[in-house]
Amino acid sequence: MSFTPILAPFPAARPRRLRQSAWTRDLVAENRLHVSDLIWPIFVHDRDVACEPITSLQGVDRLSIAQAVQEAKEARDLGINVLALFPHLDERLRTSDAKAAIDPNGLIPTACRAIKSAVPDIGLLVDVALDPYTDHGHDGLLVDGNIVNDATVEMLIQQTLVQVEGGADIVAPSDMMDGRIGAIRNALEATGHHDTLIMSYAAKYASAFYGPYRDAIGVKALKGDKKTYQMDSANSDEALREVAIDISEGADMVMVKPGLPYLDIVQRVSETFKVPTFVYQVSGEYAMIKAAVEKGFMDHDRAVLETLLAFKRAGASGILTYFAKHVAQLLKN
Ligand code: PBG
């Protein structure tokens, strides 16, 4: 719908009238942040310590499975609907063939089972990509220095199935291989998982803002970069093509990632396709806010809420953010 705004001349129109007090501003607010907008990404491990701090993600810990169960309970009580799980594997389980990714008793399927049995009504989103499981840190299989698409997709199908059999509700392919959404959807249908949701990382850019995440999942030194599969930050129309492909292959929801540097993409995607569009406020965005706050340059909660509202304004249906639990607490008070 488009219309020409009718503007009275000053002083008939005084836009400040609507801003004069907290209640008038609240009365006419166009967008609001609600706890149900939040998806909380957490990192899990299976070592003996409950929590391991992540240096580059101040205030975020890697959690043991027992601790993750505890956090899931707290998150649910705060009204958070979905947790996104990421694994931190022991060094010796990372291999060039990423076989730990398809282990039915691997870390993520095990964590899903534990959380689902303790907190059955929280949604679990799992990443589908090989980077936490490879010794080189790429999302796909590497052959002669190249990421091979179709062989990777075969692995992603297996990875999806072990995670779904563990209890994952939403699979989120973050690998950016071609054809993976259709292949995963077919495999889910063929195995009777008709209700499993796919949230495709459809427009995922090759970004510097993933730095702290690599630390969080323990990728030591990524060989090369991810530019042959993740998108070039120069492009916008290409994001629409990627989203169109993923919807046509069976994605229920799509995602744009990173968040704040790509708000224009969030807006174009949500306006063009009218499908649930999510945005990931990634690790580097989180770390930037924490660092600026630590230096006394800005107020933590105001900065965080402003970024999350910006995503809503751009048209996001929901946001993956490491601030989710904190913000859920803020919204409750
Ligand atoms: C991997 C994956 C990445 C993130 C989520 N899944 C990193 C990457 O693609 O290199 C980034 C999350 C973040 O930075 O918070 N497939």
Instruction: Give the number of the atom of ligand 1 that is nearest the alpha carbon of residue 209.
Output: 14
- CA separation for the pair 103, 166 (Å, rounded): 11
CA of 203 to the centre of ligand 1 (A): 13
Tens of pLDDT along the chain (333 residues) come to: 678 888 899 999 999 999 999 999 999 999 999 999 999 999 999 999 999 999 999 999 999 999 999 999 999 999 999 999 999 999 999 999 999 999 999 999 999 999 999 999 999 999 999 999 999 999 999 999 999 999 999 999 999 999 999 999 999 999 999 999 999 999 999 999 999 999 999 999 999 999 999 999 999 889 899 999 999 999 999 999 999 999 999 999 999 999 999 999 999 999 999 999 999 999 999 999 999 999 999 999 999 999 999 999 999 999 999 999 999 999 998
User: 216 in ligand 1 pocket by Cβ < 6 Å?
Assistant: no
User: 213 in ligand 1 pocket by Cβ < 6 Å?
Assistant: yes
CATH of 33-332, one of 2.30.30.170, 3.10.20.30, 3.20.20.70, 3.40.50.300: 3.20.20.70
- CA separation for the pair 180, 178 (Å, rounded): 6
What does R_g of the chain's alpha carbons equal in angstroms?
Answer: 21
* Closest Cα to atom 10 of ligand 1: 210
Cβ-contact 185, 250 below 8 angstroms: yes
DSSP letter (8 states) at residue 229: T
User: 86 in ligand 1 pocket by Cβ < 6 Å?
Assistant: no
Instruction: Report pLDDT for 10.
Output: 96
CA of 5 to the centre of ligand 1 (A): 42
Residues facing residue 73 across a β-bridge: none
Residues facing residue 146 across a β-bridge: 143
Any idea which residues carry the catalytic annotation? Answer: 204, 257
For 7, what's the count of Cα atoms within 13 Å in the CB-facing half-sphere? 6
* Tokens read off for 221: 């030194």
Instruction: Report pLDDT for 1.
Output: 64
User: 139 in ligand 1 pocket by Cβ < 6 Å?
Assistant: yes
CA of 299 to the centre of ligand 1 (A): 27
CA of 137 to the centre of ligand 1 (A): 11
User: 210 in ligand 1 pocket by Cβ < 6 Å?
Assistant: yes
CA of 210 to the centre of ligand 1 (A): 6
The string of DSSP codes covering 121-170 is TSEEEEEE-STTTBSS--SSEEETTEEEHHHHHHHHHHHHHHHHHHT-SE
- CA separation for the pair 322, 60 (Å, rounded): 8
User: 174 in ligand 1 pocket by Cβ < 6 Å?
Assistant: yes
* Tokens read off for 285: 């965005």
